[in-house]
Structure 1
Amino acid sequence: MATLTSVYADSTIVLGPLATEAQPEAYDLCEKHVNSFTAPRGWQIIRLATDFAPAPPSEDDLLALADAVREASRAPRPAPMPAEHRPRPGGVMPGPVTAPLPPPPEIAEGEVLRRGHLRVLKGDKE
C-alpha cells in the first residue's frame, strides 16, 4: 500500500509510504494499483519507497476496531416504519381500511374496463 500525492505545479506524482493523517489531494492505493500505476503524459513519477508491503496490524488497530464495534452496538436503532398500504380500485385490501375506498371510475360508452390511464374498448370482430 502507498499514498499517492500530486504536485500540479511541477506535474509530478509522488508515491510514498502510507500517510499517517488524512490529507486533501492524497489517495491511498493498494499494492496492485501501486505497481501498475502510470502517470499522465508529461508527468513525472517519484517513488519514495521500494517496498509497498502493507504494515501488519498493531494493537492500536485492534483496539480501534473493537471500540468501533462497541459504539455501533450502543447506537439506538430507529423504529421500523410501517408499510404503506394503498387500496386498489375494485380490489380487496387485507386488514382494516382507515379511509373509504374511492368510487370506481366511470366507464364511458364503448369501454369495457378502465385501470388508471389505460382502458379496454369494445371492438368489432371482423
Structure 2
Amino acid sequence: MVRVLSPYASGGRQCSRSGCSQAAITTLTYQYQRSQVWLDDLTAERDPHCYDLCERHADALRAPQGWWVEDRRSVDPRQTSLIA
C-alpha cells in the first residue's frame, strides 16, 4: 500500500500558486516601491505578506518589465537531485 501525504502532514507548506498542490521550497517577497522581488529559501514560518512557491513555480518566475529579481536561495533546487 502506498500512502501519499499532503505537504501539511509533515508540517510543510503548499505552493501559493492557485491550483498547485506541490510542496513549497522557496519564499517570494517583493517591494512594490522599489520594483524588486526576492527569492529566498523557505522561511521557518508562513508570512501573510509573502508567497511560498514550489520548485517549478520559483524557477519559472518572471517579474514584470522593469522589475529586478534577486535569487538569494542558498542551493539551486535543480542541483539537489544531483547531490543524492
1-structure distance, mates of 2:57, 2:44: 20
Contact 1:13 1:43 in 2 (8 A): yes
- 1:51 maps onto 2:76 in alignment: yes
Structure-2-length-normalised TM-score: 0.57
Letter in 2 for 1:29: L
2-structure distance, mates of 1:52, 1:4: 15
- 1:41 maps onto 2:65 in alignment: yes
Contiguous gaps of at least 5 residues in structure 1: 54-126
Q: Which residue of 2 aligns with 1:31?
A: 55
Alignment coverage as a number of residue pairs: 53
1-structure distance, mates of 2:77, 2:40: 8
2-structure distance, mates of 1:14, 1:3: 8
- 1:16 maps onto 2:40 in alignment: yes
Q: Which residue of 1 aligns with 2:31?
A: 7
Structure-1-length-normalised TM-score: 0.39
Q: Secondary structure in 2 aligned to 1:34? A: helix
2-structure distance, mates of 1:40, 1:25: 19
Contact 1:3 1:29 in 2 (8 A): yes
Letter in 1 for 2:77: F
Contiguous gaps of at least 5 residues in structure 2: 1-24, 79-84
Letter in 2 for 1:14: W
How big is the alpha-carbon RMSD for the aligned residues of Structure 1 and Structure 2? 1.5
